[in-house]
Amino acid sequence: MALPPEPLDEVIPGADGAVLATVMRIVEQAPQQQYERTLETSLPRTAARQVVELKVTKVLFGDVAASGALVQCVKPEGAYALREGNTGPFVLGKTDGAVEILGRYGPDTWPEAAVKQAAAQLGKR
């Protein structure tokens, strides 16, 4: 069962922008953390950090990227890994000069309308 994305009202306040985009390529893939086999019935699983190149098709708010641009973004270690061809809304933040994907991006993501509405409620354009 897929984990639902975090509530937008928790993610949007720290965002510098949001875009509709497609993952064009995986630029960098950190090594996957290995766990020692134990008597546990399940082990924690997190997907390793990635650097991905997004092709922006539409800007929902902010000035992190322009429509048509290719943007390299960091996808932090988390519940899911991105693959080439993943498409959808990406909420982005700038950290130390790098663009980072915020929230848990996975098979269930936010609808475009919900991202726009959450941004409008917080006065983000």
* Per-domain residue ranges of the chain: 10-28+46-121
How does pLDDT run across 79-106, given as a tens digit for each residue?
Answer: 888 999 999 999 999 988 899 999 877 6
Q: Which of 101, 102, 125 is nearest to 23 (CA)?
A: 101
Mean pLDDT, range 18-31, rounded to an integer? 94
Rounded to whole angstroms, what are the CA distances from 52 to 5, 17, 24, 107, 115? 19, 17, 8, 17, 21
Question: Which pLDDT score is estimated for 99?
Answer: 96
10-28+46-121 placed in CATH 2.40.50.120: yes
Question: Which pLDDT score is estimated for 121?
Answer: 93
Q: Which of 39, 36, 92, 83 is nearest to 61 (CA)?
A: 92
CA-derived radius of gyration, the chain: 15
pTM, 2 dp: 0.86
Mean pLDDT score of the chain, rounded to an integer? 87
**Does pLDDT of 109 surpass 60?**
yes
